[in-house]
Amino acid sequence: AQTVTQSQPEMSVQEAETVTLSCTYDTSESDYYLFWYKQPPSRQMILVIRQEAYKQQNATENRFSVNFQKAAKSFSLKISDSQLGDAAMYFCAYFTGTASKLTFGTGTRLQVTL
């Protein structure tokens, strides 16, 4: 079974600084997708970034980028120039067509301080 591990329950970053959230996963599949979702206090799940496993290039979306290490099964999220609005729960998630469902990690609560 696929598992997703987020080892940092809470992280804190100062406004305008950079923070990296960790995620590791376990799978025997070769074709899959990885996602980072943000859940602010409103609890609406928002897709932050996605990575196709077959792509070697790391995905980037504005201030958000990932470090995808397929051999190490690691998928970390880097948030640059952190803003107050980035404060939220961040969930790493894994998807494969075999199971056709998302598997979520336990989440990391990110605090952004002035």
Partner 1 sequence: GAVVSQHPSRVICKSGTSVKIECRSLDFQATTMFWYRQFPKQSLMLMATSNEGSKATYEQGVEKDKFLINHASLTLSTLTVTSAHPEDSSFYICSANGEGSYNEQFFGPGTRLTVL
| 91/51 Cα distance (integer angstroms) | 14
- Sites for partner 1 among residues 26-45 (CB under 8 A): 33, 42-45
Report the candidate in 29, 8, 22 with the shortest Cα–Cα distance to residue 74: 22
String of contacts with partner 1 for each residue 47-76, x by CB under 8 A: x--x--------------------------
Residue 91 — left, alpha, or beta (φ > 0 → left; ψ -120 to 50 → alpha)?
Answer: beta
Span from 20-28, 67-75, 76-84, 103-111 in contact with partner 1 (CB under 8 A)? 103-111
Smallest distance from partner 1 to CB 16, Å: 28
For the chain, first and last CA: distance in Å? 41
Question: From the list 12, 14, 60, 106, which residue makes contact with partner 1 (rule: CB under 8 A)?
Answer: 106
